[in-house]
Amino acid sequence: MRDGGRVSAAIEVLTEIEARHFPVKMALKRWGETARYAGSKDRAFVSGLVLDGLRRKRSLGWMMADSTARGVMLGVLAFVWKWPLERIAEAAAEEHGFGALTDVERERLAAPVPIEGAPAPVAGDYPDWLEPHLARALGADQAAEMRALSERAPVDLRVNTLKTDVERCAKALALIDAAPAGVLATAFRIPAPAAADRTPSVEAVPAFSKGWFEVQDLGSQIAAAVAGDVKGKQVLDFCAGGGGKTLALAAAMGNSGQIFAHDSDARRLADTIRRGQRAGVRNLQIRSPIEATPLKGLEGKIDVVFVDAPCTGAGTWRRHPDAKWRLSPDQLAKRQIEQDSVLEDAAAFVKAGGRMIYVTCSLLTEENEDRVAAFLERHPEFTVKPIALDGVTHVTPEGYLRLTPHRAGTDGFFAAVLQRASYTP
């Protein structure tokens, strides 16, 4: 495909997302099924263009004075991908292009509307209704954080110490330009790709098939490390999902003790079983909700209960930019109810003197500090244990972990350690 056809396809996909509220993966898949002629580079181009458009659609629409899919795509090409006007005009006029540029479009591409005069939600690329929530959570750093949330994200990897050591794995990861990410010795990073490019296929590296490393955002890795010393412990991953943090916890345990993986959706646990086998985990028990009482017998016996709670995902918008446009006030309210319920249920399994780790990949205070405060009010037998991790400085005065793209260079994450009293007064 030539540039014009690729841009036309991106405009088509973004239009469908806007009109039908499809997740971006579904919209790209639907386009791919009808575009059998498109090669891997074509698909990477279209995907990258659409995702960059979703990341910055309000600010680009403002700059172009045109918030249609066409206007946003032109904005991506000019102001994100840095195409010169001549290249954009040439692509537009191609046989399968998206139509010749108008005089107004040429004017805006050459002299965009200054973004400095835009309202905060437009300049920061998020829905208007989120303004008070983000202002509360981010304070003076709000503008910088929202710009960071509109950038492409790197690919982070975690060395699996159950199968290899850091030095040995580092040599294998050098093949895909992965370098130490900092903070954690086992964390490596591949920089975010340039416009229209793809990151290297990590699954094609032989070391991946051997289980030497996993794909996992650095923020997620740090959140798992918040669990502290887990060797020889009884650990319950209460919302295990696909198992990313389960595997990180298992590696920290060194196949000692016992780790139980549970989730309310049995389908999500299928990946945990497969990934656990590849990673060489031998102390894992899957507790599926298909069973009548999957967690029977664990009440009050677990040293560490890890709660990766369901949330809005407001910290992951770099990777999932379509999610911020689908989020609604009702969904935020629903997530808070779910979070309170999950905390309530998980607390029953924490032994006296044990700890519960509450984690979200959200930036919003309503899903984080507020939920912890509400839980502590209901459960005075729990107290906050301030987080202390070597190399981690992003700890709030209350002792919570708060990671953000601008401050920490990671996805947005929150974590709290809640310690249960050794005895009941």
Closest CA to 220 of 350, 315, 128: 315
Is residue 361 among the annotated active site residues? yes
Cβ within 8 Å of residue 357, ≥6 positions away: 223, 226, 227, 304, 305, 306, 307, 415, 416, 417, 418
Residue 159's closest CA among 113, 216, 86, 230?
216
The Cα–Cα gap between 79 and 60 comes to 8
CA gap 339, 13 in Å, rounded:
34
Beta strand extents in 74-181 (DSSP E only): 155-159, 179-180
Residue appearing with tokens 């000019």? 78
DSSP symbols for 193-251: PPTT-----GGGSHHHHTTSEEE--HHHHHHHHTT---TT-EEEETT-TTSHHHHHHHH
Beta bridge partners of 357: 306, 417
308 is an annotated ligand-binding site residue? yes
DSSP state, residue 395: B
User: Quick one: 252 exposed, middle or buried, by C-beta within 10 A (0-12, 13-18, 19+)?
Assistant: buried
**In this structure, what token pair is assigned to residue 230?**
């887990």
Binding residues for S-adenosyl-L-methionine: 263, 308
Active-site amino acid positions: 361
